[in-house]
């Protein structure tokens, strides 16, 4: 057998049938659903009098539309959103699909909930009607987003007609310096290769810098790889990721554990495997990064200046002009020192316990700057409970942050956490598109520590220099 990449191994092990040179029928180990991409799929099943083929390999989470206010019982007041949640509960009950509903103590963002409950394991194929399903590559699982019509096919058959991707490897060697994180690393990479730089590819990350990352940092890295156009992201399982999975999976013990470890040990790209494209980066000098524009690839190091249209490639001149007009920034100005009015720490990119610990460490003994509204939204009920056990909530509250309930919240304007027009937000989310957090709102993507620094200074600030 010829040498294979990790991606090729995962596809081959899940191929039910080869349809043609580019398409296979792929078996899906786990299908995650949310409230806004599943209604039409269930309607289609009902119209065809179909049942869900494998209910136990489907899981639903209410996350995008849910309010995050600190109340005992959460109520979705928006009628359309409430209907989506009600229909999801009805459909899950009808078909026997597990559901993390609105007031479930373990409810949260699907991409946070699934791994922390041991649903994601190396070698799996995981799909969801959400583009950031690439997150699961951190555990050596092939995760990717699908469309609503595909959701119906998966529910009916637990398979997917899948067009195979090309292979890209991004090797990052060296170690990230103090004050920088995997969020800074992925923003830097996206800035270098572009928002379409990985289009049509599944990206495998490798190198000493990747090996040194915690699993939660790897989640962030893989989560945002889709912002470079990637169809998937993978990191070969190692001792760090395997230990994480075993800790989350109490069912993997004894002989089952031995067999699992034996299988996982072969989940890597063969030495002679061919990648169509390879990139190399050095982590040693990566600075904290912040987006300045309206695409994740419009990003600069915190010491950098906002580019002028005549400083970018000709094909990017128009988009640069449009981004500067929307963000109301001056070409040539330093990004550091830009005033902000709002801070949001949350999302499937950066709302895990390590993210909250990093932000709390910055916030401790500080106060939120006057005129700034700051929010922390844990990624799940489990994260919220752990943070409260460690006293992180009290650190945030004492500083003047709002401590909220789990949910997607202000990552996107699908709930009642919406920014007002013209409000500039330091955000730990994954997209800074026009109107993403509210019509006319301006988003600057950054790490949790950088967002925390912005909260206490009122400006985009280099966290490494805070207090110095």
Residues, the chain, total?
468
Residues 144 and 204 in one domain: no
Instruction: Provide the pLDDT for residue 335.
Output: 98
CA-to-CA distance for 278 and 280, rounded, in angstroms?
7
Residues 84 and 212 in one domain: no
8 A C-beta contact, residue 378 and residue 108: yes
Report the predicted TM-score, pTM, of the whole model to 2 decimal places: 0.97
Q: Which of 147, 163, 179 is the last residue of a domain?
A: 163
Residues 115 and 178 in one domain: no
207: left (phi over 0), alpha (psi -120 to 50) or beta: left
CA-to-CA distance for 59 and 77, rounded, in angstroms?
24
pLDDT per residue of the chain (468 residues) written in tens, 0 to 9 = 699 999 999 999 999 999 999 999 999 999 999 888 788 899 999 999 999 999 999 999 999 989 899 888 899 988 989 999 999 999 999 999 999 999 999 999 999 999 999 999 999 999 999 999 999 999 999 999 998 889 999 999 999 999 999 999 999 999 999 999 999 999 999 999 999 999 999 999 999 999 999 999 999 999 999 999 999 999 999 999 999 999 999 999 999 999 999 999 999 999 999 999 999 999 999 999 999 999 999 999 999 999 999 999 999 999 999 999 999 999 999 999 999 999 999 999 999 999 999 999 999 999 999 999 999 999 999 999 999 999 999 999 999 999 999 999 999 988 989 999 999 999 999 999 999 999 999 999 999 999 999 999 999 999 999 965
DSSP letter string, 51-80: PPS-GGGEEEE--SS----S-SS----SHH
Instruction: Kindly state the tokens that stand for 385.
Output: 């409970």
Residues 380 and 322 in one domain: yes
8 A C-beta contact, residue 292 and residue 326: no
CA-to-CA distance for 413 and 1, rounded, in angstroms?
49
Q: Which of 131, 163, 195 is the last residue of a domain?
A: 163
- Count other C-beta atoms under 10 Å from residue 96's C-beta: 11
- Count other C-beta atoms under 10 Å from residue 157's C-beta: 17
Residues 13 and 124 in one domain: yes
**Owner of token pair 């620094």:** 453
In 3-state terms, what secondary structure has residue 83? helix
CATH code, domain carrying 229: 3.40.1060.10
242: left (phi over 0), alpha (psi -120 to 50) or beta: alpha
* Residue-number span of the structural domain to which 29 is assigned: 6-163
Instruction: Provide the pLDDT for residue 406.
Output: 96
Residues 95 and 113 in one domain: yes
- How many helices and strands (H and E) does the chain possess? 15, 19
Classify residue 262: in a domain, yes or no.
Answer: no
**Nearest residue to 349 (alpha-carbon basis) of 413, 411, 305:** 411
Classify residue 249: in a domain, yes or no.
Answer: no
Classify residue 238: in a domain, yes or no.
Answer: no
Q: Spell out the residues 6+ positions from residue 151 whose beta carbon is closer than 8 angstroms to its own.
A: 31, 33, 37, 38, 40, 41, 129
Residues 425 and 312 in one domain: yes
Residues 277 and 304 in one domain: no
Residues 87 and 15 in one domain: yes
Instruction: Provide the pLDDT for residue 148.
Output: 83
8 A C-beta contact, residue 157 and residue 53: yes
Half-sphere exposure of 221 (CA within 13 A, CB side): 29
Classify residue 251: in a domain, yes or no.
Answer: no
Q: Which of 163, 192, 223 is the last residue of a domain?
A: 163
CATH code, domain carrying 33: 3.30.499.10
Instruction: Provide the pLDDT for residue 1.
Output: 63
Instruction: Provide the pLDDT for residue 38.
Output: 84
3-state helix, strand, coil in the chain (%, to 5): 40, 20, 45
Classify residue 245: in a domain, yes or no.
Answer: no
Instruction: Kindly state the tokens that stand for 226.
Output: 């889709």
HEC profile for 408-447? CHHHCCCCCCCCCCCCEEEECCCCCCCCCCCCCCEEEECC
CA-to-CA distance for 210 and 228, rounded, in angstroms?
18
Instruction: Provide the pLDDT for residue 35.
Output: 87
Classify residue 259: in a domain, yes or no.
Answer: no
Residues 351 and 372 in one domain: yes
The H-or-E segment that residue 403 falls in is strand 402-403
Half-sphere exposure of 390 (CA within 13 A, CB side): 14
Classify residue 257: in a domain, yes or no.
Answer: no
The span from the first CA to the last CA of the chain, in angstroms, equals: 58
* Lateral strand order in the sheet of 232-235: 232-235, 201-206, 166-173, 277-282
Classify residue 383: in a domain, yes or no.
Answer: yes
Q: Spell out the residues 6+ positions from residue 455 whose beta carbon is closer than 8 angstroms to its own.
A: 343, 363, 368, 369, 372, 374, 399, 401, 426
Q: Spell out the residues 6+ positions from residue 280 whose beta carbon is closer than 8 angstroms to its own.
A: 170, 171, 172, 173, 207
Q: Determine whether 370 is exposed, middle or buried from the number of CB atoms within 10 Å of its CB (0-12, 13-18, 19+).
A: exposed
Pairing verdict, β 30-33 and 58-61: parallel
Residues 46 and 143 in one domain: yes
C-alpha torsion 425→428→431→437, nearest 10: -40
How many structural domains comprise the chain? 3
Instruction: Provide the pLDDT for residue 468.
Output: 53
8 A C-beta contact, residue 205 and residue 313: no
Residues 19 and 156 in one domain: yes
Instruction: Kindly state the tokens that stand for 343.
Output: 């801070």
């Amino acid at each position: 057998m010829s040498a294979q990449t990790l991606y090729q191994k995962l596809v081959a092990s899940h191929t039910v049938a080869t349809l043609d040179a580019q398409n296979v029928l792929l078996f899906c180990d786990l299908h995650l659903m949310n409230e806004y991409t599943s209604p039409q799929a269930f309607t289609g099943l009902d119209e065809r009098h179909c049942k869900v083929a494998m209910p136990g390999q489907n899981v639903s989470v209410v996350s995008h539309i849910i309010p995050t206010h600190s109340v005992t019982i959460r109520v979705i007041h928006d009628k359309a959103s409430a209907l989506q949640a009600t229909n999801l509960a009805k459909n899950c009950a009808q078909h026997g699909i597990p559901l993390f509903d609105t007031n479930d103590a373990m409810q949260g963002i699907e991409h946070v909930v699934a791994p922390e409950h041991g649903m994601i394991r190396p070698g799996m194929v995981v799909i969801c009607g959400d583009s950031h399903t690439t997150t699961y590559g951190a555990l050596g699982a092939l995760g990717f987003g699908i469309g609503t019509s595909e959701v119906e096919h998966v529910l009916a058959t637990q398979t997917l007609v899948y067009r195979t991707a090309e292979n890209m490897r991004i090797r990052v060697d060296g170690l990230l310096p103090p004050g920088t994180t995997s969020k800074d690393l992925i923003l830097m990479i996206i800035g270098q290769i572009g928002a379409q730089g990985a289009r049509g590819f599944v990206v495998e990350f490798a190198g000493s810098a990747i090996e040194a990352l915690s699993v939660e940092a790897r989640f962030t890295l893989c989560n945002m790889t889709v912002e470079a156009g990637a169809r998937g992201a993978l990191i070969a399982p190692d001792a760090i990721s395997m230990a994480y999975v075993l800790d989350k999976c109490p069912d993997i013990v004894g002989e089952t554990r031995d067999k699992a470890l034996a299988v996982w040990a072969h989940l890597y790209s063969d030495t002679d495997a061919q990648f169509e494209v390879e990139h190399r980066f050095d982590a040693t000098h990566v600075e904290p990064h912040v987006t300045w524009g309206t695409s994740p690839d419009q990003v600069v190091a915190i010491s950098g200046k906002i580019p002028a249209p005549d400083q970018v490639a000709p094909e990017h001149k128009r988009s640069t002009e449009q981004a500067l007009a929307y963000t109301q920034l001056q070409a040539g100005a330093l990004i550091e020192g830009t005033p902000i009015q709002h801070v949001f720490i949350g999302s499937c990119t950066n709302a895990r316990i390590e993210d909250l610990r990093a932000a709390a460490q910055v916030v401790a003994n500080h106060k939120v700057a006057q005129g700034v509204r700051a929010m922390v939204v844990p990624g799940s009920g489990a994260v919220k409970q752990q943070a409260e056990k460690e006293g992180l909530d009290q650190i945030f509250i004492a500083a003047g942050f709002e401590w909220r309930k789990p949910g997607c919240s202000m990552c996107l304007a699908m709930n009642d956490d919406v920014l007002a027009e013209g409000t500039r937000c330091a955000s730990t989310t994954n997209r800074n598109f026009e109107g993403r957090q509210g019509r006319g709102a301006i988003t600057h993507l950054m790490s949790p520590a950088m967002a925390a620094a912005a909260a206490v200074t009122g400006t985009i600030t280099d966290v490494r220099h805070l207090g110095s």
